Chains A and B, each alone.
Chain A
């Protein structure tokens, strides 16, 4: 501020690093919890902005600047003022007891950093957590949780000195000579690589970029503000004074954040990161904190209900647990007698929690005798699981998020993985190492995601063509002898066959260029960078998995990592979230009835013909533990199928569209209400969550429900009463595998962070930072085997593998194909049998599972894509995860997740929007050959001009801003014959103004 006043040396400030911020809004969640702010009330807010002319995405964490000359303070008409400035620390505070709510300070602040409580009629503002720090905290709430370390708190002069020492420049935002104390570090400059198609993401800043207008839509925000928030928001600080803290974890997503649960009189008042975790160090994503709004939500299901109206109508009556379970058991018995045990299907997964997904539900299915049980894997990750199993013999890379391992890489390549929004804390660590070590980052994605916005280069690939890119990268490396020949010779089985195959096929960068929409030079450059890097980590995720070529694309990228020596080393890996958690749950052989028919299909979406038409055999009952009527592709058919069932049971936290179709709606517990483990995550951490509170109303844990239902069906000797205690279930059942044996309750509770990295063969076995290092033996395998395959090597091709692939009409040597619905005609997968036909038994599944055989169809005059294009479907539809505050349906019942991201949106390029006359924030209609929905337009140059992106998770019966789910646009018949994974990443659609 040009030295108008001498800043005191004790002046405190926040430092906000724009190079690190990924816009996750974790700081917003922390702030609102700490200060118990309600909807619409802010002390900080993360502003998203996107470029219109150039691909760029910017995030600005806006909070009070604690100015030397605070305009807010001077505007306050109260005398003595309701706003004051500490002469030593420089903190500007509002005295809410003196504020009359005139709002002059709100108007006066040029940074719009003065908040206002519209219910209590007074100003609110950041005070750098004076009270929190007075209670002993060492930093502000926002800085304590920031997943990317973008926010830091301290003495201003020291923060500035540190920034200068690390070569970072503070941004001059003192336009008004107010002397703001808050420091913003500029984005780092980046090398402009040129190239025809690769884009250096604009180091965008909100001054040049536009905020997506739908985010602040008045109607959407009013919907959130209309419902008063449950405890502890809007309560006095004393009401949330903490008297007990218990460590645990978040049970929502794959980052598996470790957290601390804060209680007052046994009432949960706050959730923060666990600062005693040596890995995550208290950094935590917004969802973990927002589960506070799940535990206290007024939308929770509280007691069992039985349908009284028509299916889909959503009319229920309250019944007792005894009545509900007795009646369900009786109906299941009748169905088993009439149609066979296979007529029961069980859809488990995300909401259920890994513990019940892998144990009680599995045991129940085995005891009942049905093979038709699966979770969300075939919609998310079954392709990569199969690929890992057949290549490595185990799921997951074996590496860890430590400075010595992933932190030592020279190059990070993200292909179809938006890690910044799906695992914000892990990305924060990678981004930190990138900045500190000068490592490079490349993002390959049809969208300029939050991840891509931090990359040195963004390659906006045509969706569904990553396999072509992988093949061309490998071809260029092999053809130019850039591969690690020794590794290939020593540790790869079938390398020669694969090498000869791709050289013979001519999968060159020039071949891949028109397919991928990327320049051949860019492909060559990336290939050479991967080969040259002393440690390259390739991250892939749903962008690779959710395709009909899921397994083969994953294999190609694994092969790419392997041939460049990036496997079984520190700083080199192929990641695809997440590593599995191998829990044991097998019932005694004499208690499991013989299963007479194979599972209809691995994908639950493949069960709908069995429900509707009884083919290949009837499925008459479904027990669903999450929300298939937002999640399953091809919603029209899914709903018709559910309507045709004899029995539909829904176990859930909140009433949703699936609930409306249920005969019985059973209220479930979650997280600390029941005790469980966190999701499977990237680096093999098993996070234990104790049962700490009782569930609301009559809600019960999933384990309790399965044990009780089991009793009524005669399974009580196996699904034992004592298993209702998750700790007993864990020690007695779950860890009876070589990898898990040492992961006991005792060991999990011996550390303040409550996690153990597997495999640990015994309670005192050390955790292994990096698996499969040269000279080591796989911990749970035979001596001398470096990798857990039968051969001890990575397996690209074997005769046995070839035979398995041949069963499904494919070769073990991955041949390129893409999707049926494309803007250019490419080879695509056509399944030879419908779901109503038995097909063949898949050699890649257990238990025995029916599968369609596949056939790669070369482009021809009857290409289905061409037909759709002729009908006006001229746009690539990409679906995927919304930003970090949301995860599937359940976060839509958290008011603050909805406040952050209220409406279903459709990202659309400005060129396409202009052609269609669509303005930012307008309602648009999106139609595919499979259905139609509406969404709000987000005009954003960071997406391929030919594509639109619509996120998953919204549903029609959500309490704040309901929308039809995007899966009305998807197609259940486009699946990978190997893994049964559905294509959710490229379908043709047309967009118009609604």
Chain B
């Protein structure tokens, strides 16, 4: 806690407690745009190189399900677990340095994408290729957001001046009711919390999923009434929800793929040999 002194415009000396910790002494390990583009370019070159050169490689590196490609896929998935860990660390309250986690999610995603591309064996007309497509879309969206979208984000400052408009009574009434509902709900969800600074996070969803969802619904309605997402461009407003949705779709796809190759190995092999580790060969 630090005692600060200030003088108001009228020359009155103020004394107040500033309990906010010093933030700026901590260096921020950001990945600059140029470095991000270099990493991306390296990943794209690696994928293209592999596709161009795979004809020269031994058969095992061109045969889906071969031990080599199987292990490559496993490694890719392990790398792609880092973005999930990033989500957990960022939202779960245990991540000491979310920026480092973010950077790890970027680096591991790009590396994982390369391994998954290799794992595909170049067979791009089969359903699992959709996963590779999702990964590419995720990467493209993330890079756009970082390199281009951030400029839009910066340009948003002071772009909503009409929000200083004379208040609309009906909106206010609905907001007032919503805030009351949120407070009542919050008393059950997290009694110590202050509605004005509270939002549900991962631990709440784990502890009280029903209440957390209900609170999230009210918070979303409030956000809708504020109209803030609608006040910015569609790309700026929706890139992140889309990024997250794609990520979840990817995760779902990976789960389906893993179940299929593990339990329905015969179906996947389609009459050929099952060369990868599996539990059952149903569907053969």
Contacts and interface: CB of A to CB of B under 8 A. Distances in A.
Interface of A: 2, 4-5, 10, 12, 15, 40-42, 45, 47, 49, 60, 62, 67-71, 73-80, 82, 84-89, 91, 93-104, 106-122, 127, 130-131, 133-134, 138-139, 143, 149, 152-155, 158-159, 162, 171-177, 179, 184, 205-207, 211, 216, 218, 221-222, 225, 236-237
A5 B196 CA distance: 8
A244 B22 CA distance: 24
B30 A121 contact: yes
B91 interface: yes
The residue in B93, B162, B229 that gathers the most chain A C-beta atoms within 10 A of its C-beta is: B162
Nearest to B26: A97
Interface string B166-191: 11100110011001000000000000
Interface of B: 2, 4-10, 12-14, 16-24, 26-28, 30-33, 90-93, 95, 97-99, 101-102, 145-146, 149-151, 153-168, 171-172, 175-176, 179, 194-199, 201-203, 219, 223, 225-229, 231-232, 236-237, 240
B40 to A, nearest CB: 15
Contacts of A2: 176
B155 A216 contact: yes
Given A106-B153, A107-B237, A130-B4, A78 B98 contact: yes
A115 B158 CA distance: 9
Contacts of B159: 112, 216
The residue in B13, B154, B171 that gathers the most chain A C-beta atoms within 10 A of its C-beta is: B154
A177 B226 CA distance: 10
16 contacts: A40-B155, A69-B197, A70-B196, A74-B198, A77-B91, A82-B98, A100-B90, A107-B236, A108-B226, A118-B154, A120-B28, A120-B30, A130-B4, A133-B5, A152-B9, A175-B171
Nearest to B148: A118
A277 to B, nearest CB: 16
Contact of A106 (B9, B30, B156): B156
Given A99-B99, A130-B4, A221 B155 contact: yes
A133 B8 CA distance: 12
The residue in A91, A100, A154, A184 that gathers the most chain B C-beta atoms within 10 A of its C-beta is: A100
Contact of B153 (A85, A96, A103): A103
Contact of B16 (A89, A176, A221): A89
A110 B225 CA distance: 10
A134 B150 contact: no
A425 to B, nearest CB: 16
Given A79-B201, A112-B156, A155 B228 contact: no
Contacts of A174: 167
Contacts of A98: 97-99
Given A77-B91, A79-B92, A175 B154 contact: no
Contacts of B158: 42, 45, 47, 62, 112-113
Given A69-B195, A89-B18, A122 B24 contact: no
A106 B229 CA distance: 10
Contacts of A118: 150-151, 153-154
Contact of A176 (B20, B155, B226): B226
B176 A97 contact: no
Contacts of B168: 175
Nearest to B243: A102
Main secondary structure of the interface of A (DSSP, over half): loop
A154 B163 CA distance: 25
Given A47-B161, A91-B18, A143-B9, A79 B151 contact: no
Contacts of B30: 101, 120-122
Given A4-B196, A176-B175, A177-B175, A154 B164 contact: no
Contacts of B157: 42, 45, 62, 106, 112-116
Contacts of B202: 79
A111 B23 contact: no
A95 B175 CA distance: 29
A612 to B, nearest CB: 48
A149 B163 contact: no
A158 B203 CA distance: 41
Q: Closest 7 A-B residue pairs measured CB to CB?
A: A154-B8, A152-B9, A138-B7, A69-B196, A97-B26, A112-B160, A207-B165
B167 A134 contact: no
A206 B164 contact: yes
B19 to A, nearest CB: 6
Contacts of A143: 9
Contacts of A155: 8, 12, 14, 16
Contacts of B175: 176-177
B273 to A, nearest CB: 46
A547 B225 CA distance: 55
A41 B154 contact: yes
B137 to A, nearest CB: 18
A231 B195 CA distance: 42
Contacts of B237: 107
A78 B202 CA distance: 10
A175 B165 contact: yes
A73 B7 CA distance: 28
A593 B236 CA distance: 72
B161 A79 contact: no
Given A84-B20, A176-B175, A138 B161 contact: no
B19 A88 contact: yes
Contacts of A15: 9
A107 B229 contact: yes
The residue in B27, B156, B175, B237 that gathers the most chain A C-beta atoms within 10 A of its C-beta is: B156
